[in-house]
Structure 1
Amino acid sequence: MPLLPADALRGAGILSVVAATIIGGWVGFALFFLVLGALFIPRALGTSLWLDATYCATLLVAGWAAQLDWYLAVPGLDLVVHGAATGLIGAVTWQVLVRVGALPHHDDVRLQRPRLGTFVVTSGAAVSLAVVWEFLEWIGHTWIDDRIQVGYDDTLGDLAAGAVGAVVAAMLVSRTSAAEPRP
């Protein structure tokens, strides 16, 4: 399998697991181990190069922003990253669901409104995963490490930004998915 540009980002993800473990202990390890696993999903799916690279770069920035408290240092960064990451995760999730056969590809069946279905699934999956992430942040803060930043305003802001990112991604995916090759 030939190397792709985003493979350099996956390499950075491997190095990030080591560095985050040294800096943040087992919490840093756990965070970047999750990020690392996520970085390999678009590679396994064979997603487009731009989605692969953008997704990987965004997840790495998100992880390091949390690890190094950039969210506290840069006002608004949290919302930008949540919007971008949630949207990109939604786009990749849609591709996963199509590739594993959980959703029909547009030329598999005669769908009445394939773009609408793609929009609903992409945005719904992305927002649902954002809710799960916020729930895990709360668990982490409550039972693992109180340095994990949570709070009512933070959580609602993160979810709102994620919902905006999910809708934008769902619009893009629903417009481009019919043109993609079959899995």
Structure 2
Amino acid sequence: MYANLKRPPRSVVEWLADVVRAVAIVVVIVSLFTLPFTDFAVLSMSLPAVMLSRMIGLRSGLDLVTCVTVFVAAGSNVIDLYRAWTGWDLIVHAVCTGVLAAVALVLLDDACVIEPTGRRRTPIVVATMAGLALSAVWEMIEWFGYRFITDAIFVTYDDTIGDMIAGGAGALLLGIVASRFRLTRADRAAL
């Protein structure tokens, strides 16, 4: 993982992904001093994902999409886009869960739990299961935040189920892509 992290970017897309990572880090640091703590916490939850996508050696386009998606998902919460734009919540849940399912597939591949992605059907099932599990965990975090931190978090039964369906659908689509294409760079270093 460290070898992938310290590897210099070699393409425009890899540079863009690293720029998004750097912006995310700066925004999180600035938010610590300028935003309410709950907003800082939401933004800071995006940092592990934007760093992990580089560390596991995702293909450059998928790395960029992961960084942008995760940071947009966190930022949308902070600037209240989920309430302002009808349907935005479902779109973000689908795309974000899909890219996080990609990260899960690569981690499971590196741990020799599943076969490598590309030309196999296993990723369809595993990505969907990972996406549904990630969706469930996220919804539990939302509920916990609503119950114990602030009632400003929007939590209803319909919203929870809709978010999980969208997340599962995004992960399923990613699984279909991963069954046909490798998700990692050819020159990446495994765990």
Smaller-chain TM-score bracket: 0.7 to 0.9
1:118 matched to 2:149? The reply is no
Structure 2's unaligned 5+ residue stretches are 1-6
- State the number of aligned residues: 177
What residue identity is the alignment partner of 1:53? L
What is the DSSP-based 3-state SS (H/G/I as helix, E as strand, rest coil) of the residue aligned with 1:145?
coil
Report the residue type matching 2:113 in the other structure.
A
1:77 equivalent in structure 2? 88
C-alpha change, 1:72 and 1:90, in structure 2 (3 Å) is same
**Aligned partner (choices 20, 25, 38) of residue 9 of structure 1:** 20
**Residue of structure 2 aligned with 1:164, choices 169, 174, 179:** 169
Task: Supply the distance in 1 between the matched residues of 2:75 and 2:147 (Cα, whole angstroms).
Answer: 21
Q: TM-score, normalised by structure 2?
A: 0.84
Q: 1:121 deviation in Å?
A: 0.9
Question: Quick check: 1:68 aligned with 2:79?
Answer: yes
Q: Alpha-carbon deviations, 1:3-40, whole Å to 9, x = none? A: 33201111111122134334542212221221011111
The percent identity for this pair of structures is 33
Letter in 2 for 1:158: D
- State how far apart, in whole Å, the 2-side matches of 1:179 and 1:49 are: 8
Normalised by the length of structure 1, the TM-score is 0.88
Residue 151 of structure 1: aligned partner: 156
Deviations 1:128-151 (A, max 9, x none): 011100111000110012112211
Larger helix percent: 1
Deviation of 1:180 after TM superposition, in Å, equals 6.9
Distance 2:184 2:20 in 1: 27
Supply the distance in 2 between the matched residues of 1:163 and 1:84 (Cα, whole angstroms).
10
Aligned to 2:100: 89
Match of 2:59 among 7, 23, 48: 48
* More moved, 16-25 vs 29-38: 16-25
Offset of residue 94 of structure 1: 0.1
Query: Which fold has the larger relative contact order, with Cα–Cα distance below 8 Å and residues 6 or more apart in sequence?
Result: 2
Is it true that 1:35 corresponds to 2:46 in the alignment? Answer: yes
